[in-house]
């Protein structure tokens, strides 16, 4: 029978081997866009199955959160639903970084409505008056409709918090001259929360990524102006840019990628990685047969 000292030695040897293995397993740390969390988690899981000696961790919180993590050294890659800002780029330069942008897919930023809302289309001008500072559209009756179950017909506006790339993109692309959001918008922590709030609130309208659509909400077709065609959000309309709020999705590396990080980015942009993009409700960067 082994004595206590032998058992202890074996235990310590096993522990040190386990620690050494953990230390030598490359870890790619990714943070950022909540819009991209679904696809990013699937990328990480599939890549782990193929590359068992590489670990990939994924966190959300918003594009701004991801860029902050990159700047303080807690993220190797940033998922972003907006481009890096001038201020973030300048800060990165000060820290000796040279961020590199990769377009990894396209999203249709959808306008979600309660399933009982009779409205089918909205224009940029109307959205600016609904969501923008000092907007004049406060009730559904201002648009000539009545929403069943909506007490007083007061519009409940649902959006994202300021760290979200979706928040920034919707403001710059849609609000036009309004420039700023109105007070009183419900700021949700995640894209999924936006859709869930609209599901249970007859008076609500909210913006979120196409991948978060459920059968319990409807999506409005959107017109950029009164002379434009009204286009529904879809993978196809995001891909061909006919949907007026189609946007690119990005992954940023803090410097020119190399080694494991380059291999991971190359895989994301491969047919396999891009078919995951399509399967999760986004448009891939090129036409693919994913059947």
* Domain residue extents for the chain: 4-106+249-279, 107-246
Q: pLDDT grade, residue 209 (50/70/90)? A: very high
pLDDT on residue 29: 97
Q: pLDDT band for position 182 (50/70/90)?
A: confident
pLDDT at residue 13 greater than cutoff 50: no
Average pLDDT in the 178-207 region? 91
Q: How high is the pLDDT of residue 6?
A: 46
- Spell out the CATH class of 4-106+249-279: alpha beta
Model confidence at 25, pLDDT cuts 50, 70, 90, reads: confident
pLDDT at 118 over 80: yes
Task: Indicate whether 20 pLDDT > 60.
Answer: no
| pLDDT given at position 284 | 96
pLDDT of residue 19: 45
**Which pLDDT score, from 0 to 100, does residue 12 have?**
46
Share of the chain above pLDDT 70, in %: 91
pLDDT top residue among 26 and 97: 97
Write the pLDDT tens digit of every residue in 239-277.
999 999 999 999 999 999 999 999 999 999 999 999 999
In eight-state DSSP terms, residue 181 is: B
Residue 8, pLDDT above cutoff 80: no
Q: How confident is the model at residue 17 (pLDDT cuts 50, 70, 90)?
A: very low
**Is residue 125 over pLDDT 70?**
yes
Residue 11: pLDDT band with limits 50, 70, 90: very low
Token couple for 142: 């201002």
| Euclidean distance between CA atoms 264 and 30, whole angstroms | 11
Long-range contacts of 190-199 (CB under 8 A, 24+ apart): 190/34, 190/37, 190/60, 191/34, 191/35, 191/37, 191/160, 191/166, 194/112, 194/158, 194/159, 194/160, 195/112, 197/158, 198/112, 198/113, 198/114, 198/158, 199/114, 199/115
pLDDT band for 142, please (50, 70, 90 cuts). Answer: very high
Tell me the three state secondary structure of residue 183. coil
- Per-residue confidence at 179, pLDDT binned at 50, 70, 90? low
The CATH number of 107-246 is 3.40.190.10
Entry pTM: 0.84
Answer yes or no: same fold for 4-106+249-279 and 107-246. Answer: yes
Per-residue pLDDT band for 9 (boundaries 50, 70, 90) equals very low
Average model confidence (pLDDT) across the chain: 90
């Amino acid at each position: 029978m082994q004595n206590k000292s032998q058992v202890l030695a074996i235990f310590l040897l096993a522990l040190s081997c386990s620690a050494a293995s953990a230390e030598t397993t490359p870890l790619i740390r990714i943070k950022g866009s909540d819009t991209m969390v679904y696809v990013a988690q699937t990328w990480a899981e599939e890549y782990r199955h193929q590359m068992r000696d590489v670990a990939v961790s994924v966190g959300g919180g918003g594009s701004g959160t991801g860029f902050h993590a990159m700047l303080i050294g807690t993220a190797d890659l940033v998922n972003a639903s907006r481009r890096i800002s001038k201020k973030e780029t300048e800060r990165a330069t000060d820290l000796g970084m040279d961020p590199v942008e990769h377009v990894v897919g396209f999203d249709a930023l959808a306008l979600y409505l309660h399933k009982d809302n009779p409205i089918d289309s909205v224009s940029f001008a109307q959205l600016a008056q609904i969501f923008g500072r000092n907007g004049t559209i406060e009730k559904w009756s201002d648009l000539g409709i009545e929403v069943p179950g909506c007490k007083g017909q007061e519009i409940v506006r649902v959006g994202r918090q300021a760290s979200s790339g979706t928040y920034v993109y919707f403001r710059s692309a849609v609000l036009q001259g309004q420039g700023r959001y109105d007070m009183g918008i419900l700021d949700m922590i995640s894209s999924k929360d936006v859709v869930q709030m609209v599901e249970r609130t007859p008076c609500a309208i909210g913006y979120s990524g196409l991948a978060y659509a459920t059968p319990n909400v409807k999506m409005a077709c959107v017109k950029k102006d009164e002379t434009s065609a009204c286009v529904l959000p879809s993978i196809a309309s995001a891909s061909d840019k006919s949907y007026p709020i189609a946007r690119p999705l990005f992954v940023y590396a803090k410097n020119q990628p190399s080694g494991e990080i380059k291999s991971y980015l190359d895989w994301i942009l491969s047919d396999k990685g891009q078919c995951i993009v399509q399967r999760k409700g986004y448009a891939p960067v090129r036409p693919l047969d994913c059947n």
